[in-house]
Every structure is written in C-alpha cells, then in structure tokens.
Chain A
Amino acid sequence: MSNALLTLQHTGLYAIFELRRLWLTRSGLMTLAATAVIWGLLLYYLVLPATELVSSLASMNTNIRVMGSNILQHLGNWPSSELTLYWLLSLFLLPIFCLFFTANQLCSDLERGTLRFLSLRSSRTAILLGRFAGQMLVQGSLILLTLTATLAISAWNAGSFTLPMLNGAAVIWVNLLLILLPFTALMSVFSALAPTAKLAVTLAIVSIGVGYGLLSWFTSTYPGWAFLHHYLLGAQVGKIATVQGWQTLQFATLPLLQSLVLLLLAYAIVRRRAL
C-alpha cells in the first residue's frame, strides 16, 4: 500500500476511534450530556419562542455587526424563525465551544506517552490528521443532533415540515462545519504545543486576542493594511450572513485555506517534537 493510502486509511481509523470516544466512553457521554443540557436550555428559552424573538430582533433599529456586516438585516434569509435563531446562536457560540471542545487532540496522549504506542504503528501525519478529522466528525454529529431538534421545533411551530426547512438546515450544517474547520485546526496547533488541554485553550484565547489587538493597532497606524482583517479566523461569517442558501459556499475558500495553513503549522510542530 502506498504511503498516501496508508496515511488516509490510518486517518480514517483515528477519526472513527474519536467518534467512538464520544458515543461509547464515559467521558464522551458526559460531553454529550453537557451539550444536551446547554442546547436544551437554548432551544427551550430561545428557539421555541423564535417567531416573536426574530420579529422583535428584526424590528429593532440596532446595528449588530459581525465582521463588518449587519446581520439583523438578513434575518429573513432562512426558511424558519427557529433556524434563523439557531444560526445566530451557533455563529457566536460554536467557535468558542470549539476552542474548549477540541483542545485535547494531542496533549493528553503526548503527556501520557500513548503516542509512543501509536507512532510505532502509524505516521505522525496520520495521527494529527486523524485527530483533526475525528474532532470534525464529533462536532458534525453534535451539530446534526441540535439541528434535528431545531428542525423538529420548527416543524411543530409551523404545523408542517417543509423541504426548504431541510435545505436550510443542510446549508447551516455545512456552513457551521466550514466555520469550525480553522478553529479546530488552530487547536491542533496548540494541542501539539501545550502539555494540557487547559493550557492549549488559554494559549489559543490569548493568541487570538493579542493577534486581533496587534492587527487593529497596526491597521489603525497603517490603514493601507486594513484588508488583513478579512483573513482573520471567522472573517467570512459576516459575509455569509448577507447571502442565501448554497450561495454561502462562495465564502468557503478562506476557512479551507486557513485550515490548511494551520494544519501545516501543526504538522511542522508534531514532526519535530520528541514523543
């Protein structure tokens, strides 16, 4: 078997093992329970009464801007108020949850020495990509669960289940995964650097904050470089909110490129690191 095929096969095995960690282990079930509680509260208090909330938000003369776009102007883009609210909540919450949720891609295994068992059987590239892919699978399955619950509420409130609702949910699912890709890749970098998941999260938050602050200072001093703001993590979110349906995929290039660069950086760290 060629090296590339072997790496791909091992990546798949690692990703499925991570999915099993979520569904078949105690710690995974605790994560599921925590997700269920948080989203249960959000769905009950925010999504269930979505029709009133969205109409009151839309009637507000407030300029809530996300990455340069007033997202409240585009609330009618989605086929149901429930999906609209789910989309708004996810845009803000999921990237933050992602930093915490995906922080332990490598650090515990590095500290415990488990990677020594693994690296005798598969390449460091496969371990890194497998863990990354596994985290994306896990997040994808959790988003799917919460989206299904939102769809159910939407159908309950509307009295019927429509195809545009399903299409809207699919658009949201794909876009959320695209948004989470670079954040997950960022945690691949920090989980390869930090000895604990807590430290990885701290480093990520500090780096994002300091990076954003420095860039703001730099672009205020040299306005000609303001275009750099369009390359920050999540910079495409504001633009996605202004278009409808699958047109949103026109902004997929940036997160994909960001993820690629971050994964290459993580690979460079993992390749040189002593196990």
Chain B
Amino acid sequence: MSALIRCTNLNKKFGRKVVLHQLSFELMPGDTAALIGPNGAGKTTLFSILCGYLRADSGIVNVLGQPAGSKALFGKLSALPQDAQFDPSFTIAEQLQFYGRLQGLTAKAAASEMARVLSLVDLAGEAKQKAAALSHGMRKRAAIAQAFIGKPQLVLLDEPTAGLDPANALAIRKLISSLSGEMSFLISSHNIFELEQLCNKVLFLDKGVLHSNVHSNLALDNAQYLTLQLEQEADQQLLQQLQQLPGVQTLTQPQKKQLVFSLHSAQATSFDILLLQCLASHGCHYRSLTKGQTLEQKLFDIA
C-alpha cells in the first residue's frame, strides 16, 4: 500500500534558524493524523511544504505518490491554510464556485458543490455574503468548506477549530469524524482533547525535530494503563489502598483529581472491577474511568 505522505530527511531553514531537521515519517491511507507541538515547532512550515507553498531545502516529500506542489495533486490534496483569507470583493459562493471550476467542475456542478460544502459547515444561508460581513468563526468555517470541494483524498487542516465557539468546534469535529472514512486527514492543533478524539496517529514535533510517532489507540498500550477521574481529591488513605490493589505497578497523580494506574499486563483485565469496589467501600465517587493514558500524558512522557 503506498503512503499518503512520505517525508524522508526533510530539512528547512529560514536564514540560520533550523525550522525542520531531518524529518522522516509516513502516513498511510485511512490515517487521521495529528500534528502537535509547541509554538514555533515547525508545524505550519511542514504544512506549507506539504501543500507546496514552501520548498524544502533538502529531503524528499511525496504526497499521494507525487512530489509536493505537483500539478497531479490538484483536486486530490486540499487544505485549510493558517490565516488564509478569501478575496473581499466577491461573495463566498462566487469564490467557492470558482474554486470548483478550477478543479474541473462544470458551472452547474460547481454551484451544487458550493451549496453542498457550505451546508456541511452550516453556512448555506451565508453563501451570498462577502468575507468581511462574516464573523471570524464563520470565515473559518467557510475556509474549511473550501477544503471539501470535490473529492480530495487527503485534507490538511491547520488549527481547524481555533477561534470557533464550542458548539461550532464540536460540529467541525463531528464533520471530520464523519468524513474520515472517505478521506484522510492531517490535523495540526493545540487542542489535545480534540486530537485525541479525532486521530489515530500523532506526530509530535518540537524545535523542528520529530520526536516520535504515537499511536493514540494502540490496544496493547491501552490495556496497561487506566486513567481515573475522581469527583473529589483522593485522600492519603485511599491512595495507599489503591496502590496496594493487585496488579498495580505504579500510581501517579498528574492532577489533583486524576489518577493514572500502570498495570502488570497479566492482571490488567480484572483490575477495573477491583478498583470500583475499592472506591465504593471508601465512599469515593468518580467521574470517569478510561482505558489507557490520555494523549496529553503520553506526550508529556515523550517530552
């Protein structure tokens, strides 16, 4: 199976500053991958190189089997670039239709495609508006809509929910989730909760270096950890009792009301029942019990 994205020894400098250093990774079809890292880590630069906006100094970048920026990618690769704005002179509908025409659609097909993608982001009623008449969140949703014109195989989304209200952010997450069977995504975001929900693979980038690929739903990994969210902070006595439960390797408390159990794999299967019995006997209420570590915990371990 050929990779959706294959980067080999990718390097990029701005002046003397190294932005990406010897980056190598692969994304396979069906992956919904997260690109994560602190500000200035090189995420947007990587996105720009994948989209052909920037040229790499050295290394190989193949997207859908073609060199990044190749004409063969027109219509197959789409993106939500960071901070890109629509032309203020034309309505959103006119511009989306024009993009459809550039992607080879007839005028009629482009019009119906425009209506379809605007409906996806709940902006059908704003089609005749110009970008300046829309709120920041609406403009963002319109920009997301342009990424779904036609049938792209791979969609790169740079901060798709930044600046959106919670209801619209949820709608966008649902949309990505519902489309993830039809197309693959690479999503850059600072919202770890969002990435955890959407992605099955994580690229952690820091200071231009790819630290590791993390699989957020790896079954083996999930079996060895349990994350417990309590209603109230655990007292010392409860902590001692929990630590003595059979199967517990280590018990950590990343936050006041959160406990993470590392388990011996042999006893991991029945541990949750023992844990709940212990909590009940202690009169302690819990909010959630999750298999595995949160993505945040994994990333902190890496970092």
Instruction: Report how far A274 CA is from B52 CA in the complex, Å.
Output: 9
Minimum C-beta distance from B92 to chain A (A)? 12
Chain A contact patch, size range: 20 to 34
Interface positions, chain B 78-102, Cβ under 8 Å from A, are: 78-79, 81, 83-87, 89-90, 94-95, 98-99, 101-102
Stretch at the interface among B69-77, B224-232, B278-286: B69-77
Which residues of B have CB within 8 Å of A118? Answer: 99, 102
Q: In this assembly, does B303 line the interface, its C-beta being within 8 Å of a C-beta of chain A? A: no
Contact B102 A122 (CB under 8 A): yes
Contact A119 B84 (CB under 8 A): no
Minimum C-beta distance from A93 to chain B (A)? 26
Contact A25 B89 (CB under 8 A): yes
Contact B85 A114 (CB under 8 A): yes
Instruction: Report how far A119 CA is from B79 CA in the complex, Å.
Output: 11
Known contacts: A27-B89, A274-B54. The answer to whether A121 contacts B84 by CB under 8 A is no
Closest B residue to A275 using CB positions:
B53
Contact A3 B71 (CB under 8 A): yes
Interface positions, chain A 17-54, Cβ under 8 Å from B, are: 17, 20-21, 25-28
Q: In this assembly, does A6 line the interface, its C-beta being within 8 Å of a C-beta of chain B? A: yes
Q: In this assembly, does A174 line the interface, its C-beta being within 8 Å of a C-beta of chain B? A: no
Known contacts: A120-B51, A122-B102, A275-B53. The answer to whether A113 contacts B78 by CB under 8 A is no
Instruction: Report how far A275 CA is from B53 CA in the complex, Å.
Output: 5
Contact B89 A121 (CB under 8 A): no
Bits for A92-130, please: 1 = Cβ < 8 Å to B, else 0.
000000000000000001001110111111110000000
Known contacts: A3-B71, A117-B84, A275-B53. The answer to whether A28 contacts B89 by CB under 8 A is yes
Known contacts: A13-B102, A25-B90, A120-B51. The answer to whether A113 contacts B83 by CB under 8 A is yes
Which residues of A have CB within 8 Å of B77? Answer: 120
Closest A residue to B83 using CB positions:
A113
Bits for B36-56, please: 1 = Cβ < 8 Å to A, else 0.
000000000000100111110
Which residues of A have CB within 8 Å of B53? Answer: 116, 119, 274-275
Task: Find A116's partner among B51, B89, B90 (CB 8 Å cutoff).
Answer: B51
Q: Main SS of chain A's interface residues?
A: helix
Minimum C-beta distance from B79 to chain A (A)? 6
Q: In this assembly, does B24 line the interface, its C-beta being within 8 Å of a C-beta of chain A? A: no
Q: In this assembly, does B146 line the interface, its C-beta being within 8 Å of a C-beta of chain A? A: yes
Instruction: Report how far A27 CA is from B89 CA in the complex, Å.
Output: 7
Which residues of B have CB within 8 Å of A123? Answer: 71
Of B54, B83, B84, the most chain A CB neighbours within 10 A belong to B84
Contact B74 A21 (CB under 8 A): no
Contact A122 B90 (CB under 8 A): no
Which residues of A have CB within 8 Å of B73? Answer: 120
Contact B90 A113 (CB under 8 A): no
Bits for A172-215, please: 1 = Cβ < 8 Å to B, else 0.
00000000000000000000000000000000000000000000
Contact B99 A121 (CB under 8 A): yes
Instruction: Report how far A113 CA is from B48 CA in the complex, Å.
Output: 12
Contact A116 B79 (CB under 8 A): yes
Contact B79 A120 (CB under 8 A): yes
Contact B52 A119 (CB under 8 A): yes
Instruction: Report how far A268 CA is from B78 CA in the complex, Å.
Output: 25
Closest 4 CB pairs of A and B: A113-B84, A121-B102, A275-B53, A116-B81
Q: A residues within 8 Å of B by Cβ?
A: 1, 3, 6, 10, 13, 17, 20-21, 25-28, 109, 112-114, 116-123, 272, 274-275
Task: Supply 10 further A-B pairs (C-beta < 8 A) apart from A117-B146, A120-B79.
Answer: A21-B89, A114-B86, A114-B87, A116-B53, A117-B84, A119-B51, A119-B52, A120-B52, A120-B73, A274-B54
14 contacts between A and B (CB under 8 A): A10-B102, A13-B102, A20-B94, A27-B89, A113-B84, A114-B85, A116-B81, A116-B84, A117-B86, A118-B99, A119-B53, A120-B52, A122-B102, A274-B48
